[in-house]
Each structure stands twice: as C-alpha cells, then as structure tokens.
Structure 1
C-alpha cells in the first residue's frame, strides 16, 4: 500500500542511521514530508539531498533544551505544522552498576528521556492544532525486562514507557495519540556497547539463539513498518501502547 502517510507532517529525531534511517525511508515511501533532527550534519545533508522534495535536515544537540525548542519551531515552519512526532534518537551506554559513572547516567537520561519530554512539550501546540495527531516514541525491550550491564539504559527506556502511558491519557482529549515501540535485538551498530559488555559478537549470538524463539536478530527494516502504522490513520484507535518487536523474546 502506498501513500499511507500522505499529508503527514513528521518531525523525526535520530533519522540518519540505523533504525531511524529505515523509519525515514519508510515514511518517505509512504508519502510523508519529514523534518529530520540529528546532530550528524554530514549524514543529514546527504539524506536531504536524496529526498530534496520531502526531507529537510535540521541539526540540533539534544542535550540542549534551547536547541530542541528552536528546532521544533523551525521544523514546524518548514513543514507547515506538525501532526506526527517520531522520537527515535537515543544513546546506549553499558556497564556494571558499580563502575557506571554518573556523567554517563546523566548523558543517557538527557538524550533518552529529557529530550523527548521537551520535544513533546514544545510540539504540543502544533499537535493539538492538527487532526489525527500521533506521537511515537522509541523505547526498548530493555525497558520491560532489562539485563546485566543495562541498568541505566533499561531505566531510561522504562521511563519512556511510563511517559507514553501518562501522556496518552492526558492528551487523549486533544486527539493526540501516544505510543511506544520496544525493539529487542536489532542488528545495528547501536548495540555495540552492550555487545562489548557481553564479551563480543559470539557471546551475543549465543544469547540470541538461546532466548529468541525466532532464533535471530531483526533488521531495521523489520522495525520501521510499526512506526508507519502508528503514524498512520490506520492506528486511529491505538494509544497508550508499548509494542514489542522482539522475535517472541518477551510475552
């Protein structure tokens, strides 16, 4: 099906690599207009040049509240409003709790939680003004079950699930739906910190084989379609959900 997102004005964070790039490509293929926010200007401009009519890149450091608020309004100006907010940007840092620096904890929560809160807060006037508005946040299976070395990352992703549940209820009266996507093992460089903590790829492979009924990792292209669905009007009665994409690893 084509043009499932025709007329959607999307602000997408973290859309220049890994799952975010797969989301961007899927959104464009389905007819959306996308403002991509990321710190990697080189990749962002390359992506914009590939989709000059439907994509515009905006650089921002998501650890800086002022830059988030400015970029939301600049993106809304280019888009002509925002009816879809897709918050994919994140960072993963892994380590034993006794060795985990508070600076690292603060960095993870600044990007994974605080930045998303500010994006939603600043985007609300645009989302409320639009119809069939949707907010889709990137959480993780780690936010539901955790694991060794993932205490900080899991806590940040659990916070996203809590944020999703609360805002879905709070914003329902405004016609704004809020959902989260919870990927399990996805084959991207994003997971390298936890792979290193586990002892390398061979150890990761054995964990995947032992714990995932489908017996493999997913690709980013197997996650992106759920973002398309949640951004589309097909999911008009879906809100307050944290949906797993995990190969059966968690029920």
Structure 2
C-alpha cells in the first residue's frame, strides 16, 4: 500500500514513540506519520528519518523523560498518542541473571513505561483522542525457554496495561498493548549473530511460530496504529497478539511432501 492510500485517521494528532529510531518503534512512527500524525521519536541515541523528529531521552531517567515530554508539548501544544516501545532483552533461566540485571531490565521495560506515561498523562487528558499503546510480548503469556527475566518484565507490562486502562477510563485515555512474537528487527539480528549456529537458531525461531516465519516490524506497527487510532474508541485494556498464531494455535507438525 502506498502512503497516499493510507487512511488519515491521525491527522492533526501528535504522537510520541519511545525507542523510535529503529525496529518496531521506527516502523510505528513512520506508519503514524503516513496516516497524518506529527511524530516525535524519543530515544537515547540516533536520529529517526524525516518526517519524524527526534528528542533524545532516557526512559530510566525521570528528569530526562519529563524534559522531553515538556519540550514536545511546548513545540506542538498538544500530545495525543503515546507508544511505550523502548525495551531491552534478557536471556537465561531464573538462575542466570544477578539482581543488578533484574533491576536494569525492569527499570527499562516496566518502570520506563510508568515514567513516560506519568509525564504524558497530564497532557493526554486534554486530548479528544488520547491513547497509550505499550509494546508487550508473547513472552508475557507463553512460557519461552531461557527468557525468565524478560518474560517476567513483559508479564508486568501486561498487568500494568490493564491497570492503567481502568485507572484512566474517566480521563478519556485508552490504554492497550501489543504482544508480538519474535520480530525481525536489528535487535533479533544481533542475538542471532551471537548464537553458535545463527542459521539453526533462526530456523528454530521461525518454526515455533505457526506461520513459519518471523513477524515483521511493519506488522507490529499496523497493530499499534490500529489500537491507537481514534477509530478504535471503544477498545481499551486489550492485548493484541501479533505472533504468527503462537499464543493460541497448535498446528500439526509440518511433514515433508506437503501432507499434514
């Protein structure tokens, strides 16, 4: 679909996307912009391509977050959509990560969502189309091997999403999340590069998703935009799975020769 054919449901709205200079965040920002939004990417480093603008901020630093949100509102006089996408990964069983790593991952993945939302809410309350979408994960609802810490953090994001949704009903702020499966992003590419056998590891990741391939960043972006859109005014407290069927489907194993 060319950009000229996108619905313009975000026209006149201002959106902030954390972790917005690459991967899911960049794809989301570009789609929101194509659908009419003014989009600001919040990120620690790098710069998003036009038409996005970038404000540097660290979601683990409350002062940095508040300053970034204040600068966005000062420039655009409004804030309508917040996409809490910034996050980091962690590998291993519950035995493998020390306390410091647990604190670091939760600081980014969970408290980071709270920090940015806390700074944004006073402005979102003034919007006629206020929406928050958090990037969660299939790891919140499915037991994945060697992802204990990451899964715990994303389980917290899922619970936080629902709590925020009910807390801010009266404010007119909708809160939802997306639960991607394994997404073909630069972060996943780095994980594969570090594996003993990157080809075999990629094949294993593809095979565990019933569609037989990794999710694309654009597919997750479409889900985020769908939840954030003013056209989804009755959708709040929802977790939208974008996981190739991983959460709910149990297909028979594929058999060579085309039979199942």
With normalisation by structure 1, the TM-score equals 0.90
Distance 2:112 2:226 in 1: 24
Deviations 1:20-71 (A, max 9, x none): 111111111111001211011xx31x52xx22xxx32111122211111111
Q: Which moved more, 1:111-120 or 1:208-217?
A: 208-217
1:182 is aligned, of 166, 179, 183, to 179
Q: What secondary structure does 2:131 align onto?
A: strand
Please point out which of 32, 42, 49 is paired with 1:27.
32
Structure 2 unaligned blocks of 5 or more: 1-5, 249-260
- Which structure has the larger Rg over C-alpha atoms? 2
Deviations 1:215-250 (A, max 9, x none): 111211111111111121111110001111011111
Equivalent pairs counted in the alignment come to: 243
1:32-51 equivalences under 5 Å are 32-40=37-45, 43-44=46-47, 47=49, 50-51=50-51
- The separation in 2 between residues aligned to 1:163 and 1:193, in whole angstroms, is 29
Aligned-residue RMSD, C-alpha? 1.8
Where 1:129 maps in the other structure, the secondary structure is coil
- Aligned equivalents of 1:144, 1:23: Cα separation in 2: 23
Aligned to 2:158: 161
CA distance in structure 2 between the aligned counterparts of 1:195 and 1:124, rounded to whole angstroms: 38
What is the TM-score with the length of structure 2 in the denominator? 0.87
- From 51, 59, 62, the equivalent of 1:62 is 59
Residue of structure 2 aligned with 1:111, choices 108, 125, 132: 108
Decide which of 220, 227, 230 is 2:227's aligned counterpart. Answer: 230
Report if the CA contact (8 A) 2:93-2:149 is conserved.
Answer: no
